[in-house]
């Protein structure tokens, strides 16, 4: 039985399989075909954090595949009425796949440990694998191939950045991070990531102009994510020189695209001019969440598109 908790232990071949399934299902979707690969399958969603893209893309995607889904709110008592083990043993005996969007990564790991069905990480403080898969899938669509591509992340080394680093290492994409030194990956994690990059380069700098040189995609995120509201004021000061604006984009190649996992704080980490520019692929990137997650569901549940 497969889980998708992080991309760290997902092979390159499996990511390529997910991309192939996703591309096939997206092509059929655009032709008006909703291929029912998962009839009768049931997906449960446990969300401890707010969500638009993750929730809607999973629910719509499962419906397209012929299955059904249920959002379990606070009334289900997840993490409150009984242990995660007891909760998961019962839930996983009734459904085929569980999507967990949790405050702590350990929560998703605990659900996966005790689950009798596949578990998908819908976001934790450590990892956001579904977002990273959709991002690299979007880059592949934009350029036709990921060969020779470079993704530059402008922002702190957060869950999305870490997942992108894992995915880039697997797919041979150069990955550069630009952030203040105290917001970078830890020395131990940097060493670990460097060992993963065999056919591509991993780098980190406090110079955003240097980081975007040669970039195929320039990617940023909010300076203070959910749960970091108390750090907002300090982060605004620390990241003041890391805004993705027209000047920074001019240091990247003309063909470079702009990416953001959304929601964005316009005028803070990115300007309107960049968000709404022809180089922005934020809508395509968000829409691909659904297509790639359909590929993930088909891969996890062992069907072929």
Catalytic center residues: 101, 128, 131, 221, 261, 289
Half-sphere exposure of 4 (CA within 13 A, CB side): 31
Torsion angle, alpha carbons of 65, 42, 57, 46, to 10: -170
CB atoms within 10 A of CB 114: 17
The Cα–Cα gap between 269 and 264 comes to: 8
What distances in angstroms separate CA 1 from CA 118, 257, 261, one per listed residue?
6, 37, 29
Half-sphere exposure of 107 (CA within 13 A, CB side): 22
Answer for the pair 111, 89: CB distance below 8 angstroms, yes or no. no
In a 3-state reduction of DSSP, which class is residue 107?
A: helix
The Cα–Cα gap between 219 and 261 comes to: 8
**What would the two tokens of residue 278 be?**
């022809």
């Amino acid at each position: 039985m497969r889980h998708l908790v992080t991309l760290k232990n997902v092979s390159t071949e499996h990511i390529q399989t997910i991309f192939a399934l996703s591309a096939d299902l997206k092509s059929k979707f655009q032709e008006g075909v909703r291929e029912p690969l998962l009839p009768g399958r049931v997906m449960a969603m446990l969300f401890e954090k707010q969500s638009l893209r993750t929730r809607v893309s999973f629910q719509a995607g499962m419906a397209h595949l012929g299955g059904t889904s249920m959002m379990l709110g606070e009334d289900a008592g997840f993490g409150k009425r009984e242990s995660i083990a007891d909760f998961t043993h019962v839930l996983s005996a009734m459904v085929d796949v569980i999507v967990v969007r949790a405050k702590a990564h350990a929560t998703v790991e605990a659900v996966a440990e005790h689950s009798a069905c596949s578990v998908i990480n819908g976001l934790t403080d450590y990892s956001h694998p579904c977002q990273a898969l959709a991002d690299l899938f979007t880059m592949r669509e934009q350029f036709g191939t990921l060969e020779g591509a470079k993704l530059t992340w402008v922002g702190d080394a957060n869950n999305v950045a870490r997942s992108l680093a894992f995915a880039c290492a697997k797919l041979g994409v150069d990955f550069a991070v630009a952030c203040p030194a105290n917001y970078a990956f830890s020395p131990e994690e940097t060493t670990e990531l460097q060992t993963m990059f065999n056919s591509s380069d991993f780098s980190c700098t406090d110079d955003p102009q240097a980081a975007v040189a040669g970039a195929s995609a320039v990617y940023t995120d909010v300076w203070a994510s959910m749960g970091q509201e108390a750090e907002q004021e300090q982060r605004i000061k620390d990241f003041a020189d890391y805004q993705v604006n027209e000047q920074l984009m001019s240091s990247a190649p003309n063909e470079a695209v702009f990416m953001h996992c959304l929601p964005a704080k316009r005028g803070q980490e990115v300007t309107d001019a960049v968000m709404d520019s022809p180089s922005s692929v934020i809508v395509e990137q968000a829409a691909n969440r659904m297509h790639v997650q359909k590929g993930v569901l088909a891969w996890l549940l062992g069907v072929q598109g």
